[in-house]
């Protein structure tokens, strides 16, 4: 039995899943979401350094044959889903000009999301996106994962030893497919993770994700 590893320093999730995980009193108009492009300039789960990355841009366009947006709301949410400061409203002819960047330079280190909502003149939601990101100065580098024994017999147990250049406080999550095997701070895994192989023979891919701090439980 062989094991393959996938390691990543950031969380990557689809916007669809993120949007569905956020409770909202608005529902987008059915069938027209594809007519609107609405996203920020960083991928979901990006680790931004507040000393370097002070802002992010908005990518917004639409098919004027199908929709006519009237208002764009921009909000930054903290890890509890509460709004940080006031939302920014961009409306009317301003939507056809270069949109202002989202200023995140004053945010404290932590886990945040940018929520974008675009409405038509009747107040109907046309599209909503929620993009999570980390604001942190923590440096994370995954060197690899050592396995003992190198090969597992079906149903046997062994150790997975991560080699990571980061403080003990960073948060790890081990997954096999959609199943989370274990999660916690790096300090908890300095002596390795005990893993029991499935009973069926095969090649198994274990994913290791490392975050500056624990992400929202939704993810």
Q: Alpha-carbon distance 33 to 163, whole Å?
A: 43
Closest CA to 94 of 69, 76, 75, 115: 69
Res 74: pLDDT:
96
Res 217: pLDDT:
64
DSSP letter at 83 equals B
Q: Alpha-carbon distance 49 to 53, whole Å?
A: 5
Q: Alpha-carbon distance 21 to 8, whole Å?
A: 23
Res 29: pLDDT:
53
Q: Alpha-carbon distance 64 to 38, whole Å?
A: 14
pLDDT tens, 164-205? 999 999 999 999 888 999 999 999 999 999 999 888 888 888
Structure tokens at 168: 């003990």
Structure tokens at 87: 């939302």
Structure tokens at 208: 């290791």
Vertex 9, ends 212 and 17: CA angle to 5°? 90
Bridge partners (DSSP) listed for residue 5: 206
Neighbours of 29 (CB within 10 A): 17
DSSP reduced 3-state for 95: helix
Closest CA to 187 of 207, 204, 205, 172: 172
Spell out, as residue ranges, where the chain has pLDDT lower than 70: 1-33, 217-219
Structure tokens at 111: 């886990």
Res 67: pLDDT:
83
The reply to whether omega before 149 is within 30° of 0 (cis) is yes
Res 218: pLDDT:
60
User: Could you give the domains of the chain?
Assistant: 2-10+138-211 (2.60.40), 15-135 (2.60.40.2550)
Res 6: pLDDT:
43
């Amino acid at each position: 039995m062989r094991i393959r590893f996938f390691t990543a320093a950031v969380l990557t999730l689809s916007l669809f899943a993120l949007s569905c995980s956020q409770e909202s009193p608005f529902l987008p108009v059915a069938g027209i979401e594809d007519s609107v492009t609405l996203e920020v300039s960083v991928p979901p789960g990006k680790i931004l350094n507040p000393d370097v990355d002070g802002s992010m841009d908005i990518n917004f366009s639409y098919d004027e044959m199908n929709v006519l947006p009237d208002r764009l709301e921009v909000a930054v949410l903290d890890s509890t889903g509460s709004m940080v400061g006031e939302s920014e409203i961009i409306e009317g002819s301003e939507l056809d000009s270069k949109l202002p960047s989202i200023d995140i330079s004053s945010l404290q280190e932590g886990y945040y999301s940018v929520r974008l909502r675009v409405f038509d003149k009747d107040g109907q939601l046309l599209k909503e996106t929620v993009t999570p990101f980390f604001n942190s100065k923590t440096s994370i580098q995954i060197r690899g994962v050592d396995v003992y024994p190198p090969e597992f017999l079906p149903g046997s147990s062994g150790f997975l030893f991560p080699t990571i250049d980061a403080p003990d406080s960073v948060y790890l999550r081990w997954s096999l497919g959609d199943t989370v095997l274990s999660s916690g701070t790096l300090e908890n895994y300095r002596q390795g993770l005990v893993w029991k192989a499935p009973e069926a023979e095969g090649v198994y891919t274990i994913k290791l994700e490392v975050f500056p701090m624990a992400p929202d439980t939704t993810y």
